[in-house]
Amino acid sequence: MPNQAPPQASPPRALRWAVAGSVIVMIAAGGLFYYASKMAAVKRQTHHDEVTVTIHPHSCEPNALTVPAGHASFRIVNRSDRAVEWEILDGVLVLEERENIAPGLSQVINANLLPGDYAITCGLLSNPRGTLHVTPTAASDAAAKAKPSMVAFVGPLSEFRVYLSSQSSALIKAVAALEHAINAGDLSQAQALYVPARAAYQRIAPAAQRLAELDNAINARADYFEKREQDPDFVGFHRIEFALFQQRDLDGLAPIAQRLTADVTALKQQLLAQSLPPEQLVSSVVRNLNSLADVRASSGEEERYSHLDLNGFAANLEATHKVVDLLRPLLTNTAAELLPKIDSAVTALDAELNGLKVKDVYASYDTVSAEQRKQIADKAKALADALDGIDPALGLSGL
């Protein structure tokens, strides 16, 4: 019989599985690479119009910007050694801001800008300001011609002006009492009176924060000054808070208290002298709530010496209540579907804060857990998002 070739041994099963596995891995890797490439392309497309501004210890780069009117996004990169803020100013008014940008990190500011020339702050308050030139577009020209009638907003704006007047008067009275206790050398009384004075300011903070120079004098934290707590330009509430609750010493505080009384008196005058466009009524409280959600709730940096943050959050919410109530008739007629969402978000944040009271007094913020702080931040953000729907519903977006 002729010799027959021996049969070919089939590859071991383990080898077959290994080859198949390699093919699957290669296909999966290819798929992941494709997905990552697509996602990177989407991300590049999403952020291709972002303007990057880098904050150095004593300047911004660039410090002269030009953008078209309408929606603009600015990525603020902090290359300094401390937390900083960045603001867009229209004269003395703050249009948009981002606070407490940590060293080495970045945050994005989204702004809806009208044509014109603006100033930008660059980190420390002592740093030179930059410029922002906004050029007109066909869309901005069309929006200017299509502004809704302002007649419907006369009532809410007038009532908000009355609110600012009464709350500013209460602030002046509270700060004067605080100054009197400081002048009398009564530390415990001054500590007690700091609480209502600070809350009085927070009730008008959304409007007051539009006035850049006065708000910096009244409300700026030590971080924004070259020598921090030891800087001679560090004045206002937080300088007094530092003396009362950390140093526990009234020495040299009388001139600071006197200046604060003068500044809150000037604040009332300027708040009533400045016109308030209807689109700023909502955006000011939204900006305040976003600051609460992004920075203040998580870090507790606002009242770092006294830990009275919850009192401030509750006072901020009172201002939000007021704005919603003033616009409620307009919303009922034109966008009633927004009100349940807004009311639910207000109630949720209110309940979260009230749950942190001990015998009708807000707890010290250093006793509030990380999870509780996150709940406050989440509910403040949800409220800000709900309020963001008001301006488009009332025809105010793009103004």
CATH of the domain at 109: 2.60.40.420
Q: Is residue 245 part of a domain?
A: yes
Range of the domain at 98: 51-143
| Tokens encoding 353 | 């804060």
pLDDT of residue 295: 79
Residues 194 and 259 occupy one common structural domain: yes
212 burial level (CB within 10 Å; 0-12, 13-18, 19+): buried
Determine the 3-state secondary structure of 399 from DSSP.
Answer: coil
Q: What's the one-letter identity of residue 39?
A: M
Question: Final residue of a domain: which of 121, 143, 165?
Answer: 143
- Please name the amino acid found at residue 185: G
Give me the residues paired with residue 110 across strands: 73
Are 189 and 311 found together in one domain?
yes
Does one domain contain both 160 and 276? yes
Last residue of a domain, one of 143, 177, 194: 143
Establish if 19 belongs to a structural domain: no
- Give helix 187-208 / helix 154-183 axis angle, nearest 10°: 160
Residues 206 and 174 in one domain: yes
Residues 139 and 185 in one domain: no
Within a domain: residue 29? no
Do residues 100 and 228 share a domain? no
pLDDT at residue 48 greater than cutoff 60: no
Residue 84 located in a structural domain? yes
- Lowest-pLDDT range, 251-255, 265-269, 288-292, 353-357? 288-292
Residue 137 shares a structural domain with residue 215: no
What's the average model confidence in pLDDT over 198-208?
Answer: 95
Q: What is the pLDDT of residues 61-98, one digit of tens each?
A: 999 999 998 889 999 999 988 888 888 988 877 888 88
pLDDT at 85: 84
Q: How distant is the alpha carbon of residue 222 from its chain centre? A: 18
Examine the domain organization and report whether 191 and 158 are in the same domain: yes
Q: Residues 386, 388, 392, 398: what is their CA dihedral angle, to the nearest 10 degrees?
A: -170
* CA atoms of 148 and 399, how far apart (whole Å): 9
Is residue 14, in this structure, part of any structural domain at all? no
- We report the CATH number of the domain holding residue 367 as 1.20.1420.20
307-352 per-position pLDDT tens digit: 999 999 999 999 999 999 999 999 998 889 999 999 999 999 999 9
**Angstrom distance (rounded) from CA 234 to CA 220:** 8
> Same structural domain for residues 129 and 110?
yes
Residues 160 and 196 reside in one and the same domain: yes
**Rounded Cα distance, 72 and 52, in Å:** 11
Contact assessment for residue 148 and residue 80, using Cβ atoms and an 8 Å cutoff: no
pLDDT in tens, 106-159: 889 888 888 999 999 888 888 888 999 999 888 777 766 545 566 788 889 999
pTM of the model: 0.76
Same domain, 207 and 303: yes
Label the pairing between strands 64-68 and 130-135. parallel
Residues 210 and 298 in one domain: yes
**Residue 153 has what pLDDT?**
86
Last residue of a domain, which of 143, 178, 206? 143
Residue 278, in any domain of the structure: yes
Number of domains in the chain: 2
pLDDT for residue 31 is more than 50: no
pLDDT interval class at 275 (50, 70, 90): confident
